[in-house]
Amino acid sequence: MRLKTKTQTTMRIQIEPLTHRGPTGETLKRNPKVEAQIIEALSLERPALIKRVAVKDFKAPEYIQAECVVYLIRRSMQDGDDDLVSELMNCLAVRISTHIRSQVSKLLHREYVDDCCQDVLVEVIRRITDSTSDGDDFAQVCFGLWLKRAAFNTLRRYFRSQKQDRLNDNGDNDDENLDGKKNIESLEDNSPLPDQQVIEAETRKLREKEAYKLLEKLDPNERNAFLLRHYAGWEIENQDHSVMTISRYFNRTPRTIRNWLNSASEKLQRWHGGQQ
């Protein structure tokens, strides 16, 4: 029996392109590394695929990136394979649960953490499995940043609830205070509430909308490296091999990553100044 070559297998597999357009009107594009993993994943038998997606160690050679997993979930939905959708989504949820809890714990009181984490997961599942929209195509471009944005939308509700609960708790003690109104004002003046972070973030979001128009003009590698560094806060390199860095993500040297970032910064500064 003649074995099929990798080239023959690759040519037979068709990957649906992303359709969502950015602020400049350009269609979003996946990283070539993600597309290569998609092709590889689609060639696997079902048991092997589930085993690969369940791998959580990003250093392992068999690790499949989250961007690829999102594509596989949406493709399985189109194929009507609900069981595979469920298995893939469960694997993804296990991967991101620890990260979500870590981020939520930094921003909310512990009494809100469990519920918020659960709601973030529900929001992630809802958005990924929404077959009526391509609005979350960015999850296949830069999943880490997309997850951060998805989590923030849920966090806003808990910020408001936490603020209101703190004010209500303060109001219950009015009889013990000379002036309840002054007490609330003191709380607002001297103890900044999480809701203030929401206001600041929304302001940044407006500025980022304009910035994203310029980012769309960058080379894909430069753009994604810039987003990971300056938006998602990833390190370029780290001696701890358990830490995912930009260098490890692209499988390029730190020097190459710095060159990309410098090039991106120079172009953005030039374009922002109106010199195309």
Establish if 276 belongs to a structural domain: no
- Judgement on whether residues 140 and 159 belong to the same structural domain of the protein: yes
Which of 173, 193, 217 is at the close of a domain?
A: 217
Looking at per-residue pLDDT, the higher value among 113 and 164 belongs to: 113
The whole-number average pLDDT for the span 202-221 is 67
Closest among 153, 138, 147 to 23, alpha carbons compared = 138
For residue 212, what pLDDT is reported? 65
Predicted confidence band of residue 173 (pLDDT cuts 50, 70, 90): low
Is residue 5 packed enough to be buried (19+ CB in 10 Å), middle (13-18) or exposed (0-12)?
exposed
Q: Under 8 Å CB-to-CB from 179, ≥6 apart: which residues?
A: none
Establish if 12 belongs to a structural domain: no
Predicted confidence band of residue 84 (pLDDT cuts 50, 70, 90): very high
For residue 129, what pLDDT is reported? 93
Asked if 20 and 135 count as a contact pair (C-beta separation under 8 A), the reply is yes
Establish if 11 belongs to a structural domain: no
- Judgement on whether residues 122 and 65 belong to the same structural domain of the protein: yes
For residue 189, what pLDDT is reported? 41
Predicted confidence band of residue 105 (pLDDT cuts 50, 70, 90): confident
Which of 194, 217, 240 is at the close of a domain?
A: 217
Looking at per-residue pLDDT, the higher value among 262 and 231 belongs to: 262
- Judgement on whether residues 51 and 143 belong to the same structural domain of the protein: yes
What percentage of the chain reaches a pLDDT higher than 90?
Answer: 36
For residue 191, what pLDDT is reported? 43
Q: Under 8 Å CB-to-CB from 271, ≥6 apart: which residues?
A: 214, 217
For residue 205, what pLDDT is reported? 55
The whole-number average pLDDT for the span 41-70 is 93
For residue 70, what pLDDT is reported? 97
Asked if 200 and 239 count as a contact pair (C-beta separation under 8 A), the reply is no
pLDDT at position 14 over 90: no
- Judgement on whether residues 83 and 209 belong to the same structural domain of the protein: yes
- Judgement on whether residues 29 and 122 belong to the same structural domain of the protein: yes
- Judgement on whether residues 128 and 105 belong to the same structural domain of the protein: yes
Q: State both tokens at 151.
A: 């989590």
Closest among 129, 70, 135, 60 to 96, alpha carbons compared = 70
Asked if 194 and 104 count as a contact pair (C-beta separation under 8 A), the reply is no
- Judgement on whether residues 125 and 227 belong to the same structural domain of the protein: no
Predicted confidence band of residue 75 (pLDDT cuts 50, 70, 90): very high
- Judgement on whether residues 72 and 162 belong to the same structural domain of the protein: yes
What's the chain's average pLDDT? 79
For residue 167, what pLDDT is reported? 72
For residue 83, what pLDDT is reported? 94
- Judgement on whether residues 226 and 127 belong to the same structural domain of the protein: no
- Judgement on whether residues 71 and 164 belong to the same structural domain of the protein: yes
Q: Under 8 Å CB-to-CB from 4, ≥6 apart: which residues?
A: none
pTM listed for this prediction:
0.64
Establish if 261 belongs to a structural domain: yes
Range of the domain at 248: 218-271
The whole-number average pLDDT for the span 36-46 is 94
For residue 184, what pLDDT is reported? 38
Establish if 6 belongs to a structural domain: no
Point out the least confidently predicted range of 55-59, 126-130, 181-185, 269-273.
181-185
Establish if 155 belongs to a structural domain: yes
Instruction: Give the total number of structural domains in the chain.
Output: 2
Establish if 177 belongs to a structural domain: yes
- Judgement on whether residues 208 and 71 belong to the same structural domain of the protein: yes
Predicted confidence band of residue 50 (pLDDT cuts 50, 70, 90): very high
Establish if 8 belongs to a structural domain: no
- Judgement on whether residues 93 and 226 belong to the same structural domain of the protein: no
The whole-number average pLDDT for the span 84-97 is 94
